[in-house]
Copies of this chain bind each other. A is one copy, B any other.
Amino acid sequence: MSKLLSSIEEAVQAAGLKDGMTISFHHHLRNGDYVLNMVMEVIAKLNKRDITVNASSVFDVHEPLIDHIKEGVVTGLEVNYMGAKVGKAISQGIMEKPVIFRSHGGRAGDMENGSSHIDLAFIAAPCADPMGNCSGKYGPSACGSLGYAFSDAIHADKVIVITDYLVDYPLKDSSISEGYVDYVVCVDQIGNAEKIVSGTTKITKDPVGLRIAYLASQVVKHSGYLQDGFSFQTGAGGTSLAVASYVEDMMLKEGIKGSFCMGGITGYLVSMAEKGCFETLLDVQCFDLDAVKSIRENPKHQEISASRYASPSAKSCAVDSLDVVILGATQVDTDFNVNVHTDSNGYIMGGSGGHSDTAAGSKLSIVVAPLVRARLPLVVDEVICKSTPGSTIDVVVTQRGIAVNPEKQELKERLKSAGLPIVEIEKLKEMAEKITGIPKSVTGGSQVVAQVLYRDGSVLDTIKVQTEGIGKRSL
């Protein structure tokens, strides 16, 4: 019995790919990923049509998808995040069927509850054995955690592991088990190692970013959650990491021993754990090589699946136990709804990822963003796309002031008493508009180019086509 086939083409044929099927990919190789493009090239060459691509995220490296869509090879796209290149094309209406956006937890949950069916999953595996046991921790394209790929492996009808580092059976320290894998293909390179990890995992030096981060850290400090057992998630952006840095200072100074740090893991969070700020790192994705090294070597640094991270279909998930999350935003509206899907002109350039999952699960969700960006205000009457419901956002921190969700009166009082610059969210909007003027309202065509599903599967919002570069709020 051997699962090892000699080419992606042979594996696609063996798996019985047919027109109309749904195939899936995960995004741990990020902008260095070769696998999605290699597979789609094979599928196009085989003259398959009407394929739906469910990829946990699509990056700019996946630009060739645009041609596959134009040529009818791909007619459906389901993602948790979409980079600006494919995003712009989608916003221009190149695909008839709307893109389906989910959150990281929602994607796993929808596979678990059966509402999202995958016919054929492709696992880009930095190392694998010939029976399909695989891991992201080892090999020349090591990416660390394979967190998002677990659901695909477990729930897809057929699973193809594609690796560039084939080891003897049995792979030690494997993440995804052979029991889920049908075929294994070894290729020259699954990715460009230099681009697998983004270079954007440095603390910001921008004074505005630092001011926002400092204020956010003060919100954390005075929220009451910063005590022994504290759990924390923050992104890889410069401002988010600056928040982590301020939080670290407070934890070390006060000897606070946190429980876990979660999400996409950076070297910065690894070093916080090493300094004793956190007992454990729960890692659904590594953002840099320090994190990759750590997940390989540090037993406190644990790989978790997207389901364990955030699935609403699981009996519980880690976001349910999260104290504080730091989140970004393109836009926030006066109901605290957040847009992370489009830019302020209505073009798709992002997605929820774990945004709405962590906002819903955490005890305290803090949005950090500059009041004005590219001469456009952060706070608007109504976001172009509702990515995360305002009911799950507690605090919005800008360099000019902090708005607290009116549902959180007690928190608001605490923060006020601590002397933080608390303002109404309408005030933030006013302040921004004093700088930018009132922006033109974004108009769009009638075609729906994307549907944003909330983590429970309900439709949160739709995104409309942008025919002239300026769209209109979708409703």
0 or 1 for each of A285-313: is its CB under 8 Å from B? (1 = yes) = 00000000000000110101101100100
Known: A170-B259, A170-B321. 13 other contacts (CB 8 A): A1-B316, A132-B316, A170-B260, A170-B318, A172-B300, A172-B302, A173-B302, A174-B302, A178-B317, A178-B318, A179-B314, A179-B315, A180-B314
Main secondary structure of the interface of A (DSSP, over half): loop
* Distance to closest chain B CB from A427 (angstroms): 35
0 or 1 for each of A397-409: is its CB under 8 Å from B? (1 = yes) = 0000000000000
A253-305 contacts to B, CB under 8 A, are 259-260, 279-280, 282, 299-300, 302, 304-305
Contact call B132/A181, Cβ cutoff below 8 A: no
* Distance to closest chain B CB from A327 (angstroms): 21
Q: How far is the CA of A304 from the CA of B315 in the complex (A)?
A: 23
Q: How far is the CA of A132 from the CA of B229 in the complex (A)?
A: 17
Asked whether any CB of chain B lies closer than 8 Å to the CB of A468, the reply is no
Asked whether any CB of chain B lies closer than 8 Å to the CB of A37, the reply is no
- Report the interface size for chain A: residues with CB under 8 A from the other chain: 38
Q: How far is the CA of A109 from the CA of B419 in the complex (A)?
A: 61
Q: What are 12 A-B contacts with C-beta separation under 8 Å? A: A1-B316, A3-B315, A3-B316, A131-B316, A132-B316, A168-B229, A170-B282, A170-B318, A172-B280, A177-B308, A179-B307, A182-B315
| Chain B residues, Cβ within 8 Å of A280 | 170, 172
Residues in chain A within 8 A of chain B (CB atoms): 1, 3, 131-132, 159, 168-170, 172-174, 177-182, 229, 259-260, 279-280, 282, 299-300, 302, 304-305, 307-308, 311, 314-318, 320-321
Contact call B259/A315, Cβ cutoff below 8 A: no
Q: How far is the CA of A177 from the CA of B305 in the complex (A)?
A: 10
Q: How far is the CA of A132 from the CA of B318 in the complex (A)?
A: 11
Complex: chain B residue closest to A309, CB-CB: B179
Q: How far is the CA of A229 from the CA of B317 in the complex (A)?
A: 39
Q: How far is the CA of A131 from the CA of B260 in the complex (A)?
A: 14
Q: How far is the CA of A172 from the CA of B321 in the complex (A)?
A: 15
Contact call A168/B314, Cβ cutoff below 8 A: no
Interface centre among A178, A305, A311 (most CB of B within 10 A): A178
Q: How far is the CA of A372 from the CA of B424 in the complex (A)?
A: 89
Q: A159-B315, A172-B280, A302-B172 are known contacts. Are A321 and B179 too (CB-CB below 8 A)? A: no
